[in-house]
Amino acid sequence: MASEVNLAQLRALVAVADAGGFGAAAAELGVSQSAVSHAVAALERVLGAPVLHRGTPARPTPLGERILPHARTAVASAAAVRTIAAHHSGGLTGTVRLAAPTTVCQGLLPGLLRDWRDEHPRLTVRVFEGEDDELGVWLESGTVDAAVLVDADPAPPGAVALGTDSMHALLRRDHPLAGEETVDVADLEDDDFLLSEGGCERHIRDAYRRAGVRFAPRHRIRDLNTLIGMVHAGVGVSVMPALAQPMLPADCVLVPIRPAAHRTLTLTGPAGRPWSPAVTGLLATVR
């Protein structure tokens, strides 16, 4: 029975599980929706049980959950074989799925993507935007091939340090503190504080703790663009990474905070399995 399972079936399972539906999986794989449906149905006939719940979104059954990590490994290994062969004959090819936080996608990735496109024109990099705490899970589960991790500790062998990203106060340009070189977090107490729940909370809390100032956010906002919009509307102030600069409207500014706080950014492949040659090639370009 096991010998009848083929790579196309496993690739279809992974695509539907990741995309959440047969139509989206078909678009991802560049085949018809019917082809994806037939591949999954063939896999289920071989295994003798369903691997996906046909719902919205489609999701793995308990059996599907058990075999999905092995399916990801098989699909990734096949892609690595193709990449090795392509590299041997003159350059990296294939697709690398890269996860990164919102601010990294806005402030850092555009330059990296241009460099990678120039260096490896036959290699496609697909970006997945996520929250800090999601990225490592995606990476180790095989949902993505590489990720920009925040404060990775320890960083996997071979990872590349992209540098540090300092925390800044987000203020309207007409705010009394907007023209200062730095802003003490204690001076933000007179304003309502908008806290981003995207992953920087511990850095902000640590800065307030070191300053001996009580931290009492008035609003908790998950979406970073919503938070920026609320500051822009005069609802309050916030603290966010410097890489958020490209997201700001003209009448908002970022000012470094005191005490200083920063996060480290690391580009890496997974810790629990071998990296694909394409991921290794991308990291070598950054180095």
For 263, phi then psi, to 5°, come to -125, 150
Q: How confident is the model at residue 225 (pLDDT cuts 50, 70, 90)?
A: very high
Is residue 1 over pLDDT 50? Answer: no
Query: What is the per-residue pLDDT across 45-67, written as a single tens digit (0 to 9) for each?
Result: 999 999 999 988 999 999 999 99
- Would you state the pLDDT for residue 27? 86
Distance CA 162, CA 148 (A): 9
Find the mean pLDDT for residues 117-123: 87
Q: Mind listing the domains of the chain with CATH numbers? A: 1-90 (1.10.10.10), 165-261 (3.40.190.290)
Query: What is the per-residue pLDDT across 158-169, written as a single tens digit (0 to 9) for each?
Result: 899 999 999 999
Three-state SS at 27:
helix
- Would you state the pLDDT for residue 90? 55
Is residue 199 over pLDDT 50? Answer: yes
Position of tokens 């005069």? Answer: 234
Of 32-36, 76-80, 189-193, 220-224, minimum mean pLDDT range = 76-80
- Would you state the pLDDT for residue 2? 45
DSSP characters over 115-161: HHHHH-TTEEEEEEE--HHHHHHHHHHTS-SEEEEES-SSPPTT-EE
Query: What is the per-residue pLDDT across 12-32, written as a single tens digit (0 to 9) for each?
Result: 999 999 999 999 998 888 778
- Would you state the pLDDT for residue 122? 85
Query: What is the per-residue pLDDT across 238-271, written as a single tens digit (0 to 9) for each?
Result: 999 999 999 999 999 999 999 999 999 999 998 8
Decide if 156 contacts 271 (C-beta within 8 A).
yes
- Would you state the pLDDT for residue 143? 86
Helix (H) / strand (E) element for 108: namely: none
- Would you state the pLDDT for residue 129? 93
Helix (H) / strand (E) element for 230: namely: helix 224-232
For 173, phi then psi, to 5°, come to -65, -25
Query: What is the per-residue pLDDT across 72-119, written as a single tens digit (0 to 9) for each?
Result: 888 888 777 766 665 555 567 788 999 999 999 999 999 999 999 988
Find the mean pLDDT for residues 204-215: 93
